[in-house]
Amino acid sequence: MNIAIIGLGLMGGSLALSLKKLSFINSIVGLDLNKEHQTQAISLELVDKVVEFSQIKKCDVIFLCIPVNGVISVLKDLIDVSPNTTIIDLGSTKEIIVSSVPPQIRKNFVASHPMTGTENFGPSAAVENLYTGKVVVLCDLQESGEFQGLVAKKIYKALGMKKYFMKATEHDRHAAFISHMPHAISYSLANTVMKQENKHNILALAAGGFRSMSRLAKSSPLMWEDIFRQNKTNLIEAIELFEKELTKLKDDIVEENWENVSNAMNHGKTLHEILD
């Protein structure tokens, strides 16, 4: 297969590094609107070369590793690809993307979301094995062409990913709780501390707990603004449910109802019986 990757940042760059290890991949070319990213991608040997958009269309598989609005825009320019071309997006929200795919290429298109990443961004953030052992969600696969579905599954299996299948609407609600809300909380936690007059003294005490919870606030604001906008309804629901839990805990602390506080913490602790 000849692979094209649009978007050469963390996700696209890491994908390129992993794809290079696969025996059935012949070449990997890339494209990024950021000229500096293109230069870095070549320097870091993430892709074989950077090409024009017209050459992207000639590849067997086209990965869209760009923000959601960018995916929607680029899809409109791919309506003339070959019927055998497979287009795979890595967007963090799925419903609005799926509903925006031009009908001419709906069979070409596979909606996916690899549940992986770091708080860093740009080509220099690319790391090997970012996808290995992680979950990838494939959405509304029955609307994709049979051939394209097989291609996507083959690639993700070869990358060592665990495949899950669901509707785009289900994905977006689940992602709001497990990914989007945590980022919103992390940004808010960071801003809470940064707005204190003695923030430097506070941060001098920062240890593992604070660093872990605020780490996501290093993520690209441009990308996450896009995600928050596209998944607004689900994100608001998740935040409101979190607010209820936090308010209940606060009220129990105010009222010195330590039994309720202990019960809440013990119940929350059971989460890791599932995750671990």
User: Based on the structure, what is the number of domains in the chain?
Assistant: 2
For 202-228, give the DSSP string.
Answer: HHHT--HHHHHHHGGGGS-HHHHHHHH
The answer to whether residues 84 and 104 touch, using CB atoms and an 8 Å cutoff, is no
Q: What pLDDT is attached to residue 162?
A: 95
CA distance 171 to 230: 13
Q: Which structural domain range is residue 182 located in?
A: 171-275
* Cα atoms found within 13 Å of the Cα of residue 63, Cβ hemisphere only: 28
Same domain, 95 and 8: yes
Pairing of strands 61-64, 86-89: parallel
Q: What pLDDT is attached to residue 228?
A: 93
CA distance 116 to 65: 13
Same domain, 148 and 175: no
Same domain, 64 and 24: yes
Q: What pLDDT is attached to residue 136?
A: 96
CA distance 237 to 43: 43
What pTM did the predictor assign?
0.84
End-to-end CA distance of the chain: 36
75: CATH: 3.40.50.720
Q: What pLDDT is attached to residue 276?
A: 65
Q: What pLDDT is attached to residue 240?
A: 97
Same domain, 233 and 261: yes
Phi first, then psi, for residue 4 (nearest 5°) are -120, 140
**Alpha helical stretches, state H, the chain:** 10-19, 35-43, 53-56, 68-76, 95-100, 146-158, 168-175, 181-194, 199-204, 208-214, 221-230, 232-254, 258-269, 271-275
Q: Which residues contact 67 (CB under 8 A, 6 or more apart)?
A: 91, 222, 223, 226, 227
Same domain, 156 and 215: no
Q: What pLDDT is attached to residue 17?
A: 93
Q: Which of these three, 166, 197, 230, is where a domain ends?
A: 166
Burial 139-163 (b: 16+ CB within 10 A, else e): bbbeebbeebbebbbebbeebebee
Same domain, 37 and 138: yes
Check residue 57 and report its DSSP letter. T
Q: What is the pLDDT of residues 27-69, one digit of tens each?
A: 999 998 888 888 888 888 899 999 999 999 999 999 999 988 8
- What residue ranges of the chain have pLDDT lower than 70? 119, 205-208, 276
Q: Cα-atom radius of gyration of the chain, to the nearest Å?
A: 21
Same domain, 119 and 240: no
Taking phi first (over 0 means left), then psi (-120 to 50 degrees means alpha), and beta for anything else, what does residue 256 get?
left
For 18-51, give the DSSP string.
Answer: HHTT-TT--EEEEE-S-HHHHHHHHHTTSSSEE-
Which long-range contacts (C-beta less than 8 Å, at least 24 apart) are formed by 242-246? 242/181, 242/185
Same domain, 26 and 92: yes
189: CATH: 1.10.3660.10
